Amino acid sequence: MTSLTLLCLAVTLGFGAISQRVCGMGMGLVAVPFFVLATGPVLGVFTVNLAATVTGLAVCYSLRNDILWDRWRTIAWWSIVGTLPGVLIVAWLPSALLQIVIGSFLVLALITSVWLVRYRFPIPRQALGATGFVGGLLNCTVGQAAPAMVLYQRATRWDQRTFQATLQPSFLVMNIASLVAKGVGVDLPPIPMGALVFFATVTGATCLGIVAGEILARHVSSELARKFAFAVALAGAAATLFRGILAAMQG
């Protein structure tokens, strides 16, 4: 890996952190494709999980007054449970097949939600736990928990302000669980340019993005943030599908 490549990766992390602060999500969408391409799927998703953990801590503190902690507890617990089969899938299932299946399902579900949001359906109480489980599994396998969370938001009409805030400690738990599980159950490939330089760059770029996002968020309305969040989730699902198809064609 060259210094220019590492700089490009740092820039994507900065933009990912800005998106995370402005609309509550986006680190996975912005950073995962570039990191997977440059460092491979295992180290790529692992690194983004690490950067998202740093981002989650900062954004969680910034939005702490709007967090619905009762909902967070349900999401957090079930996301940890969902991480366990996720790490097994990463170790055993071909990456291309996994991304095609998950990406296809998420794209279809999000597009369908545009129509379904016009109607009210009874949402079972267990749906929040199921969403946390799926979010944890997706975060561990493809680095994309946001589409599952946005589906739940749209189905329940969860307001953007508290939804965005509650996502932050939820994503924080998902990423920590994923990092711990992969550190135990998955062998990481060699880290380019040395671990110290690589992770120092990752951390520095993420922190700069958080500061920029904090400034930008003051000028973005809740409605615009909600629309941006949906667009980010849909793009993330489409990117997952595209990466899977590309990997299958190359394989």
What does the pLDDT read at residue 116?
A: 61
Q: What does each C-alpha distance from 117 to 110, 126, 216, 220 come to in angstroms? A: 10, 19, 29, 23
- pLDDT tens string for the chain (251 positions)? 678 888 888 888 888 888 888 888 778 777 877 777 777 767 777 788 788 888 888 888 888 999 999 999 999 999 999 998 888 887 787 878 877 877 787 787 777 766 665 666 677 888 999 999 999 988 888 777 888 888 888 888 899 889 989 998 998 898 888 778 766 555 666 777 778 888 888 889 999 999 998 898 888 887 787 777 778 777 777 877 887 888 888 76
**Under 8 Å between Cβ of 207 and 54:** yes
**Under 8 Å between Cβ of 42 and 4:** no
Angle between helices 27-39 and 41-62 (to 10 degrees): 150
**Under 8 Å between Cβ of 18 and 207:** no
Residue 111: CA count within 13 A, CB half-sphere: 9
Q: What is the Cα–Cα distance from 238 to 217, expressed in whole angstroms?
A: 26
> Which tens digits make up the pLDDT trace of 14-30?
888 888 888 887 787 77
* pTM across the whole model: 0.76
Quote the longest CA-to-CA distance of the chain. 53
Q: What does each C-alpha distance from 170 to 89, 136, 205 come to in angstroms? A: 21, 9, 22
